[in-house]
Structure 1
Amino acid sequence: MKKLLYVALAWLLLAACAKEKKPVDPADFHIIPKPASLTPGTEVLDWDNKKIAIIARTADEKNVGNLLAEFLKTKNLNATVTEFSDDADKIAFYTAEDPALGNEGYTLVVDEKGVSLTAAAGAGLFYGIQTLLQLIPENGKTVPYVTITDQPRFAYRGLHLDVSRHMFPPDFIKKYIDLLAHHKFNRFHWHLTEDQGWRIEIKKYPKLQEIAAYRKETVIGHARDADPKNPKDFDGKRYGGYYTQEEVKDIIKYAADRYVTIIPEIEMPGHALAALSAYPELGCTGGPYQAATTFGVFDDVFCAGKEETFTFLEGVLDEVITLFPSKYIHIGGDECPKDKWEVCPHCKKRMKAENRKNTHELQSYFIQRIEKYINSKDRQIIGWDEILEGGLAPNATVMSWRGEEGGIAAARQNHDVIMTPTGWCYFDYYQDTTSENEPLAIGGYLPVSKVYSYEPIPAVLTADEAKHILGVQANLWTEYIPTPEHVEYMMYPRACAMAEVAWTAKENRNYEDFLTRLDTHFKHLDAWDVHYAKHLQHAADSTVSKK
């Protein structure tokens, strides 16, 4: 009788425990960017000492599976990619169309059967595994039961890097791509040419590698404080380099495997001193010129009146287009002083021949002519919002950086727009004004809180006009950022905030909730050896006055 009583009590105790088991609070899932829908379960998968089968059949599934297997090995988890397995310790990929999710959405299910990930295309599978990786504790080998359905808000989600003021090795460019891809950005804007250096090999014009890729020295400290005539204000060290076409191809392939499109930027008609140092006949005066040793905006630009200018740029673009599969080619168009054009006989002749009233309209001619050439190669141009001046090229997409006005004007003209205004998207600005150790920056003040607050669709646009806002991008100009570690310091954690602006639906965003998730996310950044601004872990919402 006692034995039966003990058995009955045991069953009652088990039943009571089962009733006590409750789903995990969704707030305990610290995923960045925040998913659209998350339903937690009550159990966990335990992969300790297990062999994990990654089920992948299509080319995209195998690509994503191999990337996942590589990462799991860093967690000392044994994973292999295979086409079939009945094992419960499995991660199964399914490619199936779902109009509600598009090509970048996914459904992730973790339960007693293992992990299943469904998406319409490789990009969706890739973003699904980025979420899965954030579900695995940094020092653990378990995955909580959960169902997540997710898709991005914007089609264009970009991060930019200027490698012309300061150059970074190919291995770091790959790490930069890894990090942006993990945070579900899908565009890498690679700024390759500037006054201070030309960074891409162009075989037709070897002097770009021999001369334009190098400057004789670099200003010490902030450019505004330097005396151009005082040698003590410069370091006296030759600086430069360039990426070979083979290196560029390798980086493009690396990005494509992670569903990132690289958009190259070849600056024109301004920011051209490095190119003019190699080919002085392309300037209005004929030179001599040298690559800039300080930072700012310079009067010497490509001559808009000489045919040689367009022959040169078309030759450059031919090689760039052959290398980069991107639909977009960025042609700059910003900060182009017109002083030399105003007095240049070649430019005056061009204005008269083309019936252009002023040099703003001459720049419009320049951009429209380049656009026509790029369109003939079945590509499209992106330009900074200055390309609106004098008349916008017919098929151009505008990056609005001088506030939102350029983007608003372009959208109202039925042109596509990428929002990247300085006040929210320029990560070369100071991010903290409380630390004495904050490194030199170009100026301004942009804390994490302000980045997170950004709404890319201006309220003044109609619903139809708003459809032209393709997305958002954060930019990093490197005048005062000489090392990879400094790049990471300026990018993170601000890029985490921008990732959520770009991916997560407006109604699902909450800054306090983001900060809670960010605390956990810092552990992932530590594991990936990211040199982020660690002092912002407890100062992310600093609101002290500008530096």
Structure 2
Amino acid sequence: MSKLRLLLCLALCSVTAFAQAADTRVELIPMPAQLTRADGSFSVNEQTPIVVPPGDAAALHAANYLVGLAEHSRGLSLQVRESPATGAAITLQRDASINNREGYTLDVTPKGIRIAARDDAGLFYGAVTLWQLLTPNGRRGEVSVPSLHIRDEPRFSWRGMMLDSSRHMQSVEEIEGLLDQMAAHKLNSFHWHLTDDQGWRIEIKRYPELTKIGAWRDGLNEQSDQSPQRYGGFYTQDQIRHIVAYAAERQITVVPEIDLPGHAQAAVASYPELGVTGKRPPVSPDWGVNPYLYNVDDPTLRFVENVLDEVMDLFPSTYIHLGGDEAVKDQWQASSAIQAKMRALGVKDENALQSWFMGQLGTYLNQHGRRLLGWDEILEGGLPASATVMSWRGSKGAIDAARQGHDVVLSAAPDLYFDNVQSDRDDELSGRLPPISLAKVYGLEAVPKELNAAQAKHVLGLQANVWTEHLPTISHVQHALFPRLDAVAEAAWSPVAKRNWSNFLSRLPAQFVRYGQQNINVADSAFAPVFELDRNAALASGKARVTLTNQAKYGALHYTLDGSTPGLNSPLYSKPLDVTMPGVLKVATFAADGSALSASRQRALDTDSLLGRNSGELVNCPGSDFTLRLQPMPDATSQAPAYNVNIFDACRLYRQARLDGVASISVQAARLPRNYALAHEAKLVKSHPASTPHGELLVHQGNCDGPLLTTLPLPGDGSRDFTLEGPLLPRQGVHDLCLIFTAPTNGPLYAIDKVTLIPGQVAKAAKP
């Protein structure tokens, strides 16, 4: 159990009533379109019936869903009955005057609660809203719901989340859990990424090799870098039908993605005749952009159409996503057969050929009552009139598509790419940098300002993407999603005028308690304490002046200096702290209702700690801002350790090192697999030639071409983790240190876990 999860569970027993002000202090996410408070309240207990119209199956389903939620999170056992509405009860009714199919009204008076909607979706969302009203805190049993009137409907019709199951799979039960969370956030589009270079995850009965071969890759063993470890699996058609039905019961449409013409290596590994070269590659163990494409022969088109027949049989969604992204055209350019096909078709270049290929499949989908959806690269050579664009390379694709009359879903990187970490903290889980904060996601606007009113109508909505190269387990996925998914939900559902960052933050404590009840690994990155201090001044004076804050600038920071875990009775931070060294400062963040917003973090304040830098505290050397936060193995199931690594340049900077009295350096390091397919970006990888058989770590003063302070040879025993130690040439004052790994770029990556400068008697002749 994570530290935050433990604190959340403890908080359930200690939450106090939160004063409710005006109409904005109702603990709802996303915020309804209209909400008006009134005097009074209605108490819901186990004697309160839920009443639905006789014979209304959808109302009965919504009522039973509410029963399950209330039982799990509030301990309330509510009963449903089919009868006309009478007396003090929760009633679900139809109202033909509500125009939006997902819209509803919810009224709470001292006499009862009424949910009304025209369509099934509205009744369901009304029930979800009522569940949140029943869970404003972590208490159990009877609850008093304030009187109010809600009239609600979504801003956008597409409110999505994409899950990549190709790089790393999730179990059916884990996907069900994510669908439950989507429903709780009123998200309605589950984009399921099922095929890629690293694995084919959907059973196609006509082509069994797709899962016999394409669903499995050889990686590296957790225990030994030398022994291959088979990774993979797939979803049977029965499992897929179950997931589609499970989602439909929660008003969620599952949109499958079969990626083409690129990201095809698993398919070509299964059936080499689909590729350009005719040779069988392995299913890729490498992340990134692999070179394998489908060819454009008629048999390949028939193959894809046959696959789509089974896909359409499994997924009733209007949209079928066909990818279209990152199709590196090298193989097409080098193929005489492909070039001959281009001449026969009269297309001018490979982008136009991709457009033709996608157009054939788009027409096929149209003939079956479906529509093509693709990443914004499908714009590059033109696309069918009925195609919808998912804009991921910023908002430009959305702007271009809408101006051309195409519907569009905003799914822009990096703001909506949740494999980007949530903060630059050194205890973050694996993922990409730069961090995408909760505030940044909340501030996202789906409709680009460059569009006029008519063009803006083509924006269907927005979607968060969870790519899983660096998120190997469901715990990683949850940590990446929550609470940023709350921000997405509000951006997708609530009117612009209802969105307010401060108010949103005030509603998150109740949501964190709900997450704790559901055993969700929610990230506390936005609220985790940040320790700010001048390390060198502390080293010189023996006293550390520490300023405490957090990313969201929200919550009460309580601290201790006696080694105990901070609680509500611990001192409240209000101004910078002066701590006499050595000491240990522990801090946690709490909401105004007393619930925990972050787990406790600690900062050791002593010479050894202040002379050290952890992986996340080092920065890239000049020339490249690319950073990944990696675990030791690509398919690791643990959450730590994780290292910040630039795969283009094995060089890190230790900023502002105080070198007075420093005699030597200790570097805890790790070897990581170099499993990255970089395509045309491979030329950007910087080589640092080695002087010894296995390479070395060079430590330079200042710039990376500054004086060489020491050379630390790398071990040749193949160990994954190792420590390098050696003397430094004596230096005075404060300087940057540049740490460069020299080793062949076709070998492993090298990562730094921690660098520590060690005081002592300075060596007179530390030879580099």
TM above 0.5, one fold?
yes
* Distance in 1 of aligned mates of 2:514 and 2:124: 18
Compared with structure 1, are the counterparts of its residues 234 and 171 closer, same or farther at alpha carbon in structure 2 (3 Å cutoff)? farther
Contact 1:53 1:87 survives alignment (8 Å): no
Task: Tell me how far 1:24 sits from its aligned partner.
Answer: 5.1
Query: Residue 218 and residue 157 in structure 1: after superposition, are their counterparts in 2 closer, same or farther (change >3 A)?
Result: farther
Residue 51 of structure 2: aligned partner: 54
- Seen in structure 2, the aligned counterparts of structure 1 residues 86 and 269 have a Cα distance that, compared at 3 Å, is closer
Shift of 1:98: 2.9
Asked if 2 retains the 8 angstrom alpha-carbon contact of 1:328 and 1:382, the reply is yes
Contact 1:50 1:77 in 2 (8 A): no
Matched, 1:131 2:129: yes
Give the CA deviation at 1:219: 9.3
Which of 308, 317, 327 is 1:336 aligned to?
A: 327
Counterpart of 2:168 (choices 166, 169, 188) is 166
Q: Is the 8 A contact 1:103 1:123 kept in 2?
A: yes
1:385 Cα deviation after fit: 0.2
Corresponding residue number in structure 2 for 1:522: 512
Alignment match of 2:219 (pick from 208, 214, 217):
217
The aligned counterpart of 2:454 is: 464
SS in 2 for 1:458: coil
**Alignment of structure 1 residues 113-262 onto 2, 5 Å:** 113-137=111-135, 138-140=138-140, 141-142=142-143, 143-217=145-219, 236-262=228-254
- In the TM superposition, residue 40 of structure 1 has moved relative to its aligned partner by 1.8
State the shift of 1:497 in Å: 0.5
Contact 1:382 1:398 in 2 (8 A): yes
Measured after TM superposition, the shift of residue 332 of structure 1 is 0.2
Structure 2 residue 574 is matched with structure 1 residue 541? no
Query: Which residue is 1:3 aligned to?
Result: none
Alpha-carbon distance change, 44 to 208 in structure 1, aligned in 2, over 3 angstroms: same
Deviations 1:93-133 (A, max 9, x none): 1112235x501111101112211001111111111111111
Q: 1:71-90 to 2 correspondence within 5 Å?
A: 71-74=69-72, 75-84=74-83, 88-90=87-89
Which runs of 5 or more residues in structure 1 are unaligned? 1-21, 221-230
Match of 1:412 in 2: 403
**Structure 1 equivalent of residue 418 of structure 2:** 427
Following superposition, the deviation at residue 289 of structure 1 comes to 0.8
Shift of 1:218: 5.1
Deviations for 1:279-328, whole angstroms, at most 9, x for unmatched residues?
Answer: 01110101121111110101111112x22211111111000001101000
Q: Deviations over 1:124-176 (max 9, x none)?
A: 11111111111113314212222111111111110110000000000110110
DSSP 3-state at the match of 2:200? coil
3-state SS of the aligned residue for 2:299? helix
Contact kept? 1:88, 1:112, Cα under 8 Å: no
Change (3 A) 1:149 1:55: same
In the superposition, relative to structure 1, how do residues 271 and 374 fare at CA in structure 2: closer, same or farther (>3 Å)?
same
Post-superposition offset of 1:193: 0.4
In structure 2, C-alpha distance between the alignment counterparts of 1:540 and 1:234, rounded to whole Å:
41
**Structure 2 CA distance for aligned equivalents of residues 316 and 48 of structure 1:** 52
CA gap of 1:23–1:418, structure 2 versus 1, over 3 A, is closer
Q: Which residue of 1 aligns with 2:278?
A: 286
The CA distance in 2 between the partners of 1:190 and 1:91, in whole Å, is 36
User: Partners of 1:278 and 1:494 in 2: how far apart?
Assistant: 37
SS of residue paired to 1:27: coil
**Aligned equivalents of 2:389, 2:150: Cα separation in 1:** 34
Q: Which residue pairs with 1:489 in the alignment?
A: 479
Shift of 1:541: 2.7
Structure number having the greater strand percentage: 2
> Matched residue of 2:346: which SS?
coil
Contact 1:33 1:183 in 2 (8 A): yes
In structure 1, the residue matched to 2:567 is none
Q: What is the Cα deviation at residue 261 of structure 1?
A: 0.4
The equivalences for 1:13-52 within 5 A come to 25-52=22-49
- Residues 1:384 and 2:375 aligned together: yes
2:503 aligns with 513
Classify 1:310/1:115 alpha carbon distance in 2 versus 1 (closer, same or farther; 3 Å): same
Looking at structure 1, the residues matched to 310 and 64 of structure 2 have their Cα atoms a distance apart, in angstroms, of 32
Q: Which residue of 2 aligns with 1:474?
A: 464
Give me the TM-score of the superposition, normalised by structure 2. Answer: 0.65
**CA offset at residue 28 of structure 1?**
2.0
CA pair 276-28 structure 1, distance change in 2 beyond 3 A: same
SS for the counterpart of 1:78 is coil
Partner amino acid for 1:331? L
Corresponding letter in the other structure for 1:313: V
The residue identity in structure 1 corresponding to 2:68 is: E
TM-score, normalised by the number of residues in structure 1:
0.90
- Is contact 1:383–1:397 with CA below 8 Å preserved after alignment? yes
Counterpart residue identity of residue 55, structure 1: V
Aligned AA for 2:271?
Answer: Y
- Does the CA contact (< 8 Å) of 2:276 and 2:293 recur in 1? yes
**2:346 is the alignment partner of 1:355:** yes
Worse-superposed segment, 175-184 or 35-44:
35-44
Q: 1:272 to 1:26 in 2, by over 3 A?
A: same
Q: Larger % of helix: which?
A: 1
CA-based RMSD? 2.1
Higher alpha-carbon deviation: 527-536 or 239-248: 527-536
In structure 1, what is the Cα distance between the partners aligned to 2:220 and 2:301?
30
Write the distance in 2 (CA, Å) between the matches of 1:236 and 1:181.
40
- Name the counterpart of 2:94: 95
Work out which structure has the larger RCO, using CA pairs closer than 8 Å and 6 or more positions apart in sequence. Answer: 1
CA contact (8 A) 2:203 2:236 kept: yes
Deviations 1:198-257 (A, max 9, x none): 01100000111211010011598xxxxxxxxxx976772100000000000011011001
Amino acid at match of 1:182: A
Distance 1:235 1:135, change over 3 A: farther
Identify the match of residue 66 of structure 2 among 56, 65, 68. 68
Amino acid at match of 2:97: D
Tell me by how many angstroms 1:69 deviates: 1.7
Q: Distance in 1 between matches of 2:490 and 2:96?
A: 25
Cα deviation 1:338-362 (Å, max 9, x = unaligned)? 0010121221121011101111111
Cα gap change, 1:287/1:127 in structure 2, threshold over 3 Å: closer, same or farther?
Answer: same
Gaps of 5+ in 2: 1-18, 529-549, 555-616, 620-624, 628-768
Q: Distance in 1 between matches of 2:336 and 2:237?
A: 37
Question: What is the letter of the counterpart of residue 529 of structure 1?
Answer: N
- CA distance, structure 1, for counterparts of residue 553 and residue 430 of structure 2: 18
Q: In the aligned structure 2, how far is the partner of 1:23 from the partner of 1:452? A: 23
SS in 1 for 2:269: helix
How far did 1:49 drift? 4.4
Alignment deviations for residues 378-435 of structure 1 (CA, whole Å, 9 cap, x no partner): 100100000011112221100000011111011011000001110321111011112x
Q: Distance in 1 between matches of 2:551 and 2:205?
A: 46
Task: Specify the structure having the higher radius of gyration (Cα).
Answer: 2
Matches of 1:182 and 1:114, distance apart in 2 = 23
